[in-house]
Amino acid sequence: MNADCLAELSDVSKRFGKLVALDGLNLEVRPAELLAVLGPNGAGKSTAISLMLGLRQADSGSVRLFGQPPQNIASRRQIGVMMQDVTLAPELRVREQIDLVASYYPDALTAEDAMRMTRTLPLARRPYGKLSNGQKRQVQFAMAVVGRPKLLFLDEPTVGLDLPSREMMWAMLRELIREGSSIVLTTHYLEEAEALADRVVVLAKGRTIAAGTVNELRSLVGRKRITCTTSLTAEVIAAWPEVQTVCRDRGRLHITASNADTVVKRLAIADGDFQDLEVHNAGLAEAFTELTQADTTQTELTQTDLTQEVAS
């Protein structure tokens, strides 16, 4: 057990019948960091989080929340939670929902302060059931922070939010980190993880397949993004060996390539008049796609090898 960790999964396995949800997973949440946990559907993200929250028991391995089993209520008094699939009592007003959660903590903010900080004060007297989906997410966020938690678990916090609200929530998350909180974020919006995360863990089939900063993850994959305007068709470029993907968007071609220099040289030869050239490092989205695809291919190869070994 690492004494600095706020939450830790050590060599944790969890099965649901024949399905292996977690397979010897190690995961730790450090002080004042935003950890983004990414992975395709069924990768084990939700199971990992539910173990850290004490909602499930691990089959093997150790789960610690502030050095204690997560079922320990004193540990949970240091966390805030925002879940994705939860319907709160529609009859209660926003202020009442937040006040109820505040009563669970020893040193909580008042409901009014939590609403002021999360810009939900104008909703205070509205029944929760009458709010839009985006407003409900904002209220759930207020409920997550009202206990002044050291560690926040946020599951898809910005789903349903419009752009200004999303940016406002990002600013609040950065403020929380600056003030010393830690956040575990699960999201399908990779640009969200890219914009906010200090560290990213990519899960697949219940295991960690990559972990590090966003830049470290980007550098794990050698891809670059090339954008240009050219008379060449996407089909012609897609046939070049270095090119992974090509798509045309409003007259511009977006190319992902393993060797950008060679592709640019080919472009210059094939179409001397190509314009508006931009070359970027691959984003987290490309890294995520390559990592998870590589993991799938690896698994398929391993399974093929095993089948061949058994056959021989």
Which residues contribute to the site for another protein (CB under 8 A)?
53-55, 73-79, 81, 83, 85-89, 91-92, 96, 99-101, 103-107, 109, 113, 116-117, 145, 147-150, 153, 172, 175-176, 179-181
Q: How far is the CB of 194 from another protein (least distance, A)?
A: 23
Cβ closest to another protein, residue 124 vs residue 232 = 124
Angstrom distance (rounded) from CA 218 to CA 214: 6
Q: How far is the CB of 117 from another protein (least distance, A)?
A: 6
Cβ closest to another protein, residue 105 vs residue 240 = 105
Q: How far is the first Cα of the chain from the last one, in angstroms, to the nearest whole number?
A: 44
Could you tell me the sign of the dihedral formed by the alpha carbons of 31, 175, 49, 217, in that order? Answer: negative
Cβ closest to another protein, residue 153 vs residue 288 = 153
Structure tokens at 46: 């939700």
Q: How far is the CB of 85 from another protein (least distance, A)?
A: 5
Q: How far is the CB of 27 from another protein (least distance, A)?
A: 17
Q: How far is the CB of 1 from another protein (least distance, A)?
A: 18
Number of helices and strands in the chain (H, E):
11, 13
Cβ closest to another protein, residue 78 vs residue 187 = 78
Closest CA to 279 of 217, 216, 223, 214: 223
Could you tell me the sign of the dihedral formed by the alpha carbons of 289, 292, 294, 297, in that order? Answer: negative
Cβ closest to another protein, residue 144 vs residue 214 = 144
Cβ closest to another protein, residue 9 vs residue 172 = 172
Q: How far is the CB of 161 from another protein (least distance, A)?
A: 19
Angstrom distance (rounded) from CA 289 to CA 60: 30
HSE, CB side, 13 Å, CA atoms: give it for residue 243: 20
Angstrom distance (rounded) from CA 29 to CA 31: 7
